[in-house]
């Protein structure tokens, strides 16, 4: 009996249940997608931790280390443990085919033992064999860009090499997203033949160790730490390395969970609003059932079946949408992280998600259902309920929202298994939502207070409605405003990254950047490019500040190596705010410090700072503090030192080039004459940064947009609930002389009021939040307004207006007198 009643109700109430269905589908699809993507990626990283480290232990350092420097490593190798050396740098690679083309590449120099874990796969499918000193392996990108094939020649540095094979899988490819160029792999001997290693070359050195007995990892790490103390070598092992990655994923998970919780909160509110409306509309039917002898438990059972069915169908459809989203997003993540994830979604996770959907449907509807059960049938049939009790429903909405938060907290805890993560996510959402609720309710309170000062009746009428005691308008506007804010903040950040880093305009980026110019090449470069400004740099570490040992872990921007610039003139983007550049009365070495770093490091005029330049200590006195305008393309340096004090220090130069007629031609010419100099096209950097920003923001927007959609559903739910009262009020107004035009105006004004209030509040708040993030996190001095938000507002408004139009059509479908008599 219960099932036949329930399915008959479902068939007749398809339209009323549609919004709840759509809200649940979006919620389930969002949760499923986020959970699966994060878990799949994290599991991949954890399962392949040794592959990613290319060993059980990895040492990372900025200066070359040999086994002679670390006798303990030699000892390890002698006792049967495997050790592989490799290092990475950038280099120009060139072909003489098709008019001598050249491109920048990421060079990886490996020893014969490489890789210790995982498999280096190549296109020929042959098992990887160590390369000779004349052979190299390359990425498909090199082949495509230079029009080459296997067996053909490629010049790196001063030597021609033969392309042995094409790399299809590199087990320890870095997770670093910012790399300019395709992979070229060669042996240590080949690297020496290329003669690329010059003074100041930017090379990242690594040693991977595969232990004979994995249980020794702790003692081996401790021994290495003892031997390398003071050498600033980063040591990771397969347990700590992945835990760093895990930390990254936990942070990501927390961030996405916060947004997902927002979506879920809104899903529950939207579903509850709609199901409350649905159950209210069914109150008459329930009353008749009860009068005819149906027990409360039977009525409850019928609606439980409806809810379970709603949750089941929404869960299935939500999971399907989630699977589509995962399949379309995963390739981008794989490409972004350079990993190859085998997607495996267990039936258990699908079943648990569908169960979760049913749970959500019950969580959203149980309370209105229980309340409905408590109402006596005769009250409903004598119409004593709807007009009076409906307000009590609204009054309890906020209390129910708190209940939803608690329910979500439990759900999150079960899902993540982390009390901290779930508390943080819920805490952020709860505090933010309460802030929005407070602001919106205060605005409504003010409007009510000033209502009579508005001369226009329509405005007063709208204010009367929204500020009516117990109205659900406050919670709906707060939630919509919240959803808008999250989306707008993401868009503001995206706009500001693009604008501040000049990612939108190629014209602002330097055409060509020249790196690793040697001191003996300066004259030749200046002859070739008379307009090029060469910036000399020395790599140095800070030893002491005012006689106190410098420890980078005590400072927010942990930095091991600093670049010291040396010159006698300021550039146009720099301005001295304290002291002199340079103080001619001083005989000691002088340094000019950027204000930002002076604040961080606690440097003032007269402070003494000692730099370590390849183990030679150089002491400087701070004689000036500068501000730097970073909005242009000028290079900026935190430290500028007096040139005469560093003439003997190992140094190299870099330069930005503008106004070049043919960038590729110049790039080829430079690669041919100066093989060690890396040339990077400004556009290449712009494209890479654009890609990263786009990937991150589009992933975030994908989730936040679902929050917006649910917010719109919630507003639609509010309008549908209001339709109860609106039908009455508008029919009455029509009877006493209001034209349809007048009523349309009144209704549209009300809808627009909700939308505009949410939009304006969200736009202002998100601008404030983004401006704060601009300063605190991104360190951008200029704030740019984003107008992309307007499109979202227009889109949301159109959906809501369409629903509003439909509601109005229904309101006008009956004769007013007949409606009032029948209601």
Partner 1 sequence: MLQLNNICKNFKDSSRNIEVLKDVNISIHTAETVAIVGPSGSGKSTLLSIMAGLDTPSSGEVIIDDEHLEQRSEIELSDIRNTKIGFVFQNFELIESYTALENVSLPLEIRGENATKKAKKLLKDVGLSDRMNHYPNELSGGEKQRVAIARALIHDPKILFADEPTGNLDAETSETVLNVLFTQVKKSQTTLVVITHDMDIAKRMQTAYRLENKKLKQVKI
> DSSP H helical segments within 602-681, as ranges?
663-673
Beta carbon nearer to partner 1, 105 or 474: 474
387 binds partner 1 (CB under 8 A): yes
Contact between 738 and partner 1 (CB under 8 A)?
A: yes
Q: Between the CA atoms of 673, 674, 677 and 682, what dihedral angle is there, to the nearest 10 degrees?
A: -10
Window contacting partner 1 (CB under 8 A); options: 30-38, 314-322, 790-798, 815-823: 815-823
> Cβ 705 to partner 1, closest distance in Å?
33
**Binding segment toward partner 1, per CB under 8 A, in 38-46, 134-142, 505-513, 736-744:** 736-744
Q: Does 728 interact with partner 1 (rule: CB under 8 A)?
A: yes
Q: Is 99 in the site for partner 1 (CB under 8 A)?
A: no
CA angle 16, 17, 22 (to 5 degrees): 120
Instruction: State yes or no: residue 815 binds partner 1 (CB under 8 A).
Output: yes
CA distances from 29 to 222, 356, 357, 394, 480 (A): 46, 12, 10, 29, 20
From 320-328, 613-621, 725-733, 760-768, span contacting partner 1 (CB under 8 A) = 725-733
Verify binding: residue 733, partner 1, rule CB under 8 A.
yes
Q: Shortest Cβ distance from residue 457 to partner 1 (Å)? A: 4
Tell me the Cα Rg of the chain. Answer: 34
Q: Is 386 in the site for partner 1 (CB under 8 A)?
A: no
Q: Is 469 in the site for partner 1 (CB under 8 A)?
A: yes
List all residues 6 or more positions away from 204 whose beta carbon is below 8 Å from its beta carbon. 60, 62, 87, 88, 89
Degrees to nearest 5, angle at CA 292 with 287 and 297: 70
Do residues 131 and 190 touch, judged by C-beta distance below 8 A? yes
Q: Which stretch binds partner 1 (CB under 8 A): 563-571, 661-669, 727-735, 793-801?
A: 727-735
The single residue among 80, 293, 347, 737 that binds partner 1, judged by CB under 8 A, is: 737
Residues that contact partner 1, how many (by CB under 8 A): 33
- 458, 745 contact by CB (below 8 A): yes
Pick the piece of the chain touching partner 1 (CB under 8 A) from 328-336, 435-443, 678-686, 814-822: 814-822
Q: Which stretch binds partner 1 (CB under 8 A): 46-54, 68-76, 531-539, 724-732?
A: 724-732
Residue from the set 66, 140, 464, 549 that interacts with partner 1 by CB under 8 A: 464
Q: Is 371 in the site for partner 1 (CB under 8 A)?
A: no
Q: What is the closest distance, in whole angstroms, from the C-beta atom of residue 469 to partner 1 in the complex?
A: 8
List 160, 550, 582, 742, residue binding partner 1 (CB under 8 A):
742
DSSP letter for each residue of 248-298: HHHHHHHHHHHHHHHHHHHHHHHHHHHHHHHHHHTHHHHHHHHHTT--HHH
Instruction: Looking at 620-739, list the stretches that DSSP marks H as alpha helix, in order from N- to C-terminal side.
Output: 663-673, 682-735
Give the x/- contact pattern for partner 1 in 514-533, rule: CB under 8 A.
--------------------
457/790 with CB nearer partner 1: 457
- Nearer CB in complex with partner 1: 452/659: 452
Nearer to partner 1, 99 or 469 (CB): 469
In Å, how far are 27, 165, 346, 521 from 129, measured between CA atoms? 51, 11, 38, 38
DSSP 417-456: --HHHHHHHHHHHHHHHHHHHHHHHHHHHHHHHTGGG---
Residue 606 backbone class (left: φ over 0; alpha: ψ -120 to 50; beta: rest) = left
Which among 452-460, 572-580, 608-616, 669-677 is the span making contact with partner 1, rule CB under 8 A? Answer: 452-460
Task: Give the one residue of 12, 212, 740, 745 binding partner 1; rule: CB under 8 A.
Answer: 740
Interface residue with partner 1 among 725, 788, 795, 805 (CB under 8 A) is: 725
Minimum distance from CB of 480 to partner 1 (Å)? 20
Phi, psi of 786 (to 5 degrees): -110, 130
- Residue 417 or 469: the one with the smaller Cβ distance to partner 1 is 469
Site residues for partner 1, window 561-580 (CB under 8 A)? Answer: none
Nearest approach in angstroms of CB 287 to partner 1 is 18
Contact 483, 710 (CB under 8 A): yes
| Interface residue with partner 1, options 342, 527, 553, 741 (CB under 8 A) | 741
Binding of residue 809 to partner 1 (CB under 8 A): no
Is the bond preceding 69 in cis, omega lying within 30 degrees of 0? no
Q: Does 816 bind partner 1 (CB under 8 A)?
A: yes
Residues 6+ apart with CB under 8 A from 728: 819, 820, 823
- For position 810 contacting partner 1 by CB under 8 A, the verdict is no
821 binds partner 1 per the rule CB under 8 A: yes
Q: Which two tokens stand for residue 358?
A: 């049913």
Residue 335 binds partner 1, judged by CB under 8 A = no
What phi and psi, each to the nearest 5 degrees, are found at residue 3? -65, -45
CB of 471 to partner 1, least distance (A): 8
Report CA dihedral (349, 351, 357, 363) to the nearest 10 degrees: -100
Other Cβ atoms less than 10 A from the Cβ of 424: the count is 15
* Contacting residues for 318 by C-beta, under 8 A, at least 6 apart: 24, 25, 26, 27, 28, 29, 32, 353, 357
Q: Which of 457, 785, 787, 790 touches partner 1 by CB under 8 A?
A: 457
Q: Indicate whether 384 belongs to the interface with partner 1 (CB under 8 A).
A: no
Q: Beta 102-110 vs 159-169: how paired, if at all? A: unpaired
Taking Cα atoms as reference points, which of 241, 112, 261, 78 lies closest to residue 174? 241
Return the structure tokens found at 725: 């009262």
Beta carbon of residue 280, minimum distance to partner 1 (angstroms, whole number): 15
Tell me: cis bond preceding 582? Omega within 30 of 0 counts: yes
378 binds partner 1 (CB under 8 A): no
> Quick one: 79 or 455, whose CB is closer to partner 1?
455
Q: Does 817 bind partner 1 (CB under 8 A)?
A: yes
> Whose Cβ is closer to partner 1: residue 341's or residue 375's?
375
Token pair of 505 as six digits: 């305009």
Residues of this chain, 254-273, that bind partner 1 according to CB under 8 A: none
Binding status of residue 751 toward partner 1 by CB under 8 A: no
Which of residues 736, 776, 777, 813 is near partner 1 by CB under 8 A? 736
Applying CB under 8 A, among 97, 239, 327, 388 the residue interacting with partner 1 is: 388
Smaller CB distance to partner 1: residue 214 or 735? 735
The CA distance from 404 to 426, in Å, is 11
| Binds partner 1 by CB under 8 A, chosen from 248, 577, 732, 802 | 732
Minimum distance from CB of 723 to partner 1 (Å)? Answer: 14
Q: Residue 820 interacts with partner 1 (CB under 8 A)? A: yes
Q: 70 vs 223, 245, 319, 617, CA distance in Å? A: 11, 28, 54, 24
Based on CB atoms, which residue is closest to partner 1, 52 or 719? 719
CA atoms of 407 and 426, how far apart (whole Å): 10
Cβ neighbourhood burial of 300 (10 Å; 0-12, 13-18, 19+): middle
**Cβ atoms within 10 A of the Cβ of 295, count?**
10
By C-beta, is 5 or 394 nearer to partner 1? 394
CA distance 442 to 448: 10
Stretch of residues binding partner 1 (CB under 8 A), selected from 273-281, 461-469, 585-593, 789-797? 461-469
Counting beta carbons within 10 angstroms of the beta carbon of residue 214, is it exposed (0 to 12), middle (13 to 18) or buried (19 or more)? exposed
d(CA 491, CA 488): 5
Q: Using the minimum distance from each CB to partner 1, give the nearer residue, 468 or 567.
A: 468
284 makes contact with partner 1 (CB under 8 A):
no
Contact residues toward partner 1 (CB under 8 A) are 387-388, 391, 455, 457, 460-461, 464-465, 468-469, 471, 725, 728-729, 732-742, 815-818, 820-821, 823
């Amino acid at each position: 009996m219960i099932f036949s009643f329930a399915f008959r109700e479902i068939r007749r109430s398809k339209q009323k249940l549609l919004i709840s269905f759509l809200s649940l589908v979006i919620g389930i699809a969002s949760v499923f997608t986020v959970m699966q993507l994060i878990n799949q990626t994290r599991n991949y990283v954890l399962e392949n931790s040794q592959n990613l480290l290319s060993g059980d232990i990895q040492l990372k350092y900025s200066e070359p280390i040999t086994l002679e420097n670390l006798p303990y490593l030699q000892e390890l190798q002698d006792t049967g443990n495997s050790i592989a050396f490799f290092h990475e740098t950038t280099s120009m690679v060139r072909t003489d085919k098709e008019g001598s083309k050249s491109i920048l590449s990421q060079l990886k120099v490996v020893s014969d033992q490489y890789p210790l874990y995982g498999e280096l796969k190549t296109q020929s499918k042959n098992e990887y064999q160590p390369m000779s000193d004349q052979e190299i392996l390359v990425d498909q990108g090199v082949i495509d860009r230079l029009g080459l094939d296997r067996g053909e020649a490629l010049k790196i540095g001063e030597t021609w090499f033969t392309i042995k094979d094409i790399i299809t899988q590199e087990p320890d490819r870095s997770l670093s997203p910012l790399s300019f160029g395709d992979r070229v792999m060669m042996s240590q001997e080949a690297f020496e033949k290329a003669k690329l290693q010059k003074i100041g070359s930017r090379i990242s050195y690594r040693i991977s160790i595969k232990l004979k007995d994995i249980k020794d990892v702790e003692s081996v790490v401790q021994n290495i730490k003892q031997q390398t103390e003071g050498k600033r070598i980063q040591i990771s092992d397969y347990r700590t390395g992945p835990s760093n990655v895990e930390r990254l994923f936990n942070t990501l998970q927390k961030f996405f969970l916060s947004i997902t919780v927002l979506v879920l909160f809104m899903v529950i509110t939207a579903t509850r609003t709609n199901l409350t409306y649905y159950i209210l509309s069914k109150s008459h039917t329930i009353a008749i059932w009860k009068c005819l002898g149906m027990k409360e438990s039977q009525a409850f059972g019928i609606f439980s079946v409806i809810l379970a069915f709603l949750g089941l169908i929404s869960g299935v459809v939500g999971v399907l949408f989630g699977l589509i989203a995962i399949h379309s997003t995963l390739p981008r993540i794989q490409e972004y992280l350079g990993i190859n994830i085998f997607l495996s979604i267990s039936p258990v996770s699908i079943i648990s998600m569908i169960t979760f959907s049913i749970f959500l449907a019950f969580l959203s509807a149980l309370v209105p259902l229980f309340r409905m059960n408590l109402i006596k049938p005769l009250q409903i049939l004598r119409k004593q309920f709807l007009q009076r009790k409906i307000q009590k429903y609204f009054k309890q909405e906020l209390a129910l929202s708190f209940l939803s938060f608690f329910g979500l907290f439990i759900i999150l805890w079960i899902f993540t298994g982390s009390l901290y993560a779930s508390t943080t996510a819920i805490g952020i959402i709860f505090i933010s939502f309460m802030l929005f609720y407070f602001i919106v309710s205060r605005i409504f309170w003010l409007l009510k207070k000033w209502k009579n000062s508005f001369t226009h009746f329509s405005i007063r009428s709208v204010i009367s409605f929204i500020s009516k005691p117990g109205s659900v308008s406050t919670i709906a506007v707060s939630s919509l405003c919240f959803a808008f804010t999250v989306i707008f903040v993401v868009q503001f950040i995206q706009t500001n990254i693009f604008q501040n880093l000049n990612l939108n305009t190629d014209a602002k980026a330097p055409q060509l950047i020249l790196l690793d110019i040697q001191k003996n090449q300066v004259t030749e470069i200046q002859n070739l490019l008379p307009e090029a400004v060469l910036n000399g740099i020395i790599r140095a570490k800070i030893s002491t500040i005012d006689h106190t040992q410098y420890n980078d872990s005590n400072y927010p921007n942990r930095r091991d190596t600093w670049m010291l610039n040396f010159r006698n003139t300021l550039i146009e983007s720099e301005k001295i705010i304290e002291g002199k550049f340079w103080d001619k009365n001083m005989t000691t070495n002088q340094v000019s410090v950027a204000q930002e770093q002076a604040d961080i490091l606690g440097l003032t005029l007269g402070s003494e700072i000692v730099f370590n330049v390849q183990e030679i200590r150089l002491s400087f006195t701070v004689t000036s503090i500068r501000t730097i305008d970073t909005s242009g393309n000028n290079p900026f340096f935190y430290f500028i030192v007096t040139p005469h004090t560093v003439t003997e220090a190992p140094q190299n130069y870099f330069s930005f080039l503008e106004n070049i007629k043919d960038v590729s031609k110049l790039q080829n010419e430079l690669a041919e004459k100066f093989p060690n100099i890396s040339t990077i096209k400004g556009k290449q950097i712009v494209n890479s940064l654009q890609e990263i920003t786009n990937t991150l923001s589009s992933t975030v927007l994908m989730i936040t947009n679902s929050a917006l959609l649910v917010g719109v559903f919630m507003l639609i739910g509010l309008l549908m609930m209001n339709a109860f009262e609106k039908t009455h009020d508008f029919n009455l107004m029509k009877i006493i002389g209001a034209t349809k035009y007048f009523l349309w105006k009144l209704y549209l004004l009300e809808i627009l009021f909700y939308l505009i209030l949410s939009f304006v509040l969200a736009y202002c708040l998100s601008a404030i939040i983004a401006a704060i993030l601009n300063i605190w996190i991104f360190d951008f001095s200029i704030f740019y307004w984003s107008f992309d938000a307007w499109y979202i507002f227009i889109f949301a408004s159109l959906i809501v207006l369409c629903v509003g139009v439909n509601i109005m059509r229904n309101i006008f479908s009956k004769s007013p007198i007949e409606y009032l008599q029948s209601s």
